[in-house]
Amino acid sequence: MIQENEDRLNILNYRLEQSNNVIEEIAFHIERGFYVTAVNRIYYAMFYALSALALLYKFETSKHLQLIGWFNKTFIKVNLIEYKHGEALRKIYEKRQKGDYEPFVNFTKTEVEQMYSNMKEFIFTIELYINANKDKLLIE
């Protein structure tokens, strides 16, 4: 049990590190006008942070929408995390889907910068929540 918790904690920390490492990469893409790529990376930075949160609660899935649904049901619906973060995640997921799979999609710099700002706030909020509740992982 202790080893399992240590392993989960290591993966959780790795996911948070991944999330934070992508932030600099996104700034690079925005500066150079690669907005579709920036939107993709914004989503994945949020996904990595959300994956870390799921590890804390032993929630496992390979489906992005299932993870988002779990997040909304477990945290947004019961006001553990502000609604605006669930809404930002949903919108960025949809924009990432369009940018990755539909032809001729363009995003404006202003639009991407807003998503980038929302992403940083989302990651910060998730990290705060995880840090305040890591003891749950260590106890279980």
pLDDT tens profile 57-83: 999 999 999 999 999 999 999 999 999
Quote the pLDDT of residue 138: 55
pLDDT tens profile 12-65: 999 999 999 999 999 999 999 999 999 999 999 999 999 999 999 999 999 999
pLDDT tens profile 88-98: 999 999 999 99
Task: Yes or no: say if 86 and 74 are a contact pair by the CB < 8 Å rule.
Answer: no
Euclidean distance between CA atoms 125 and 118, whole angstroms:
11
Going by pLDDT thresholds of 50, 70 and 90, the confidence category of residue 129 is very high
Model confidence pTM above 0.95 = no
Locate the domains of the chain by residue range: 2-139
DSSP 73: I
At residue 84, what is the residue type? K
At residue 139, what is the residue type? I
Give domain 2-139's CATH superfamily: Nucleotidyltransferases  domain 2 (1.20.120.330)
Euclidean distance between CA atoms 44 and 70, whole angstroms:
17
Q: Is 1 helix (H, G, I), strand (E, B) or coil?
A: coil
Euclidean distance between CA atoms 14 and 12, whole angstroms:
5
